[in-house]
Amino acid sequence: MENSIAPIILVLSRNAQFAKQSNNTIEAFNERRFLRKREKLMKGKLILKGAFLLFAIPQAQFKYRSRANAWLSTSTARI
């Protein structure tokens, strides 16, 4: 009787391991997809922020404008 139960338990444990592995794979895939979307969003936000700083600041405030140029060049270099 013990011999007939052992193969069933072995199959069930293998199925459980496979299900766990595939679940981990799906979770990892979703995590990578989320991170890629977030990275694209952050790049877009940085570019928009830099463009706003460059064009929204009046010409009279030249020192702030040069700071915005420096900030934009360093932030795009980090990406």
Token pair listed for 67: 């700071």
Answer whether 0.75 is exceeded by the pTM. no
| Cα separation values, 32 from 19, 40, 79, Å | 20, 12, 18
Token pair listed for 76: 């795009």
Phi-psi region for residue 57, left (φ > 0), alpha (ψ -120 to 50) or beta? beta
What is the predicted pLDDT for the residue at 60?
46
Sorted by sequence, the CB contacts under 8 Å of residue 78 that are 6+ apart come out as none
What is the predicted pLDDT for the residue at 43?
84
For the chain, residues with pLDDT lower than 50 are: 1, 60
Token pair listed for 21: 């592995």
